[in-house]
Structure 1
Amino acid sequence: MSKMDEVRKAMMQALKNKEMDRKETLSLLLSALKAKYIDKREDLTEEEENAIILKEIKQTQETMENAPDGRDDILTECKNRLEVLNEFAPKMMDETEIKQVIQSVLDQLGITQPTVKDKGIIMKNLMPLVKGKADGGLVNRLVGEYLK
């Protein structure tokens, strides 16, 4: 079952349960998925669906960060929205898993003592393996720890 079908099913259940805030969030997510589907004119891959969900999460987090002081209603709405969106988000890799992938890329490239000059080639080979599964900033920081 695609994410679009899962979201649609969850939205219908929220509607039946009269959970309007949840239904609204799911409706927005479904709209984003449908828009990409229409633009592409074919079924979305799992990576594309996950990218859309992560984008929605990031936008909601930015809204929370930029909310004016004293606007607790915005913060509450964003927290509720994040809770719903995280149900559909892909499982993110933790630091240990990312370090394992970094080490496998280093082994694959034959780099035993990585330097700053190697960072470009390492990231070029690493990012396709972790895209949509790990935070890019965290990956960048962990690669930096390997560099001498």
Structure 2
Amino acid sequence: MMSKIETVQKEMIAAMKAKDTERKETLTLLLSALKAKAKDKKEALTEEEENTIILKEIKQAEESLAGAEKAARADLIDMNKKRIAVLADFAPKQMNAEEIKQVIAGVLQQLGIEKPEPKDKGSIMKNLMPLVTGKADGGLVNRMVGELMK
């Protein structure tokens, strides 16, 4: 199986040949982020580490998009939407609310908690997050666990 770095390099070359400048620029940024992390680590990245970097890049583009929308900058809005679309091609499939509920239920069962209370949240999250990291938005997971305690 190809690493994300190899996949991104291939896609970047294809974008250059197709003269798709915006896609090439986004892939260049992603590639440098992946390579920098691998260089810091001094070894190949795990799939989870690669996914974390990709999700971080998406989050940055989303934050830039929000800023561009506030400033009513159509050029930046368009650029960030395209950047998010390109990065989404490489992002791991995100879990939907139903899948997250199933994982939460499994963790509760594993911990033997029938009616979660606020004092249980720490141990629930500690066991839950490794199962959903990179596959689900942490804020959404946190809110869903919080709703169970109401």
Query: CA RMSD, aligned part only?
Result: 0.9
Q: Which residue of 2 aligns with 1:15?
A: 16
Compute the TM-score of the two structures, normalised by the length of structure 1: 0.97
Corresponding position of 2:81: 79
Query: Residue type matched to 1:94 in 2?
Result: N
Deviates more, 1:65-74 or 1:46-55: 65-74
Matched letter for residue 6 of structure 1:
T
- Alignment partner, residue 125 of structure 1: 127
Aligned length: 148
Q: What is the Cα deviation at residue 69 of structure 1?
A: 2.5
**Counterpart mapping for 1:65-104 below 5 A:** 65-67=66-68, 68-104=70-106
Match of 2:43, SS? Answer: coil
Partners of 1:32 and 1:130 in 2: CA distance: 22
Give me the whole-angstrom Cα distance separating, in 2, the residues matched to 1:107 and 1:38: 41
Cα offset for 1:111? Answer: 0.6
| Matches of 2:144 and 2:99, distance apart in 1 | 11
Secondary structure, aligned partner of 1:133: coil
Equivalent-residue separation in structure 2 for 1:69 and 1:48 (angstroms): 33
Counterparts of 1:42-61 in structure 2, within 5 Å, are 42-61=43-62
Per-residue deviation at 1:11? 0.3
For residues 80-131 of structure 1, what are the alpha-carbon distances to aligned partners after superposition, in whole Å with 9 as ceiling and x for unaligned?
1111000001000000000000000000001111111111110111011101
Q: TM-score, normalised by structure 2?
A: 0.96
**Which aligned segments of 4 or more residues in structure 1 are displaced greater than 6 angstroms?**
none
**Counterpart in 1 of 2:33?**
32
Rounded to whole Å, the distance in 2 between the matches of 1:35 and 1:69 is: 31
* CA apart distance, 1:145: 1.8
1-structure distance, mates of 2:31, 2:105: 37
The gaps in structure 1 that reach 5 residues or longer are none
In structure 2, the partner of 1:41 is 42
What runs of 5+ residues in structure 2 fail to find an aligned partner? none
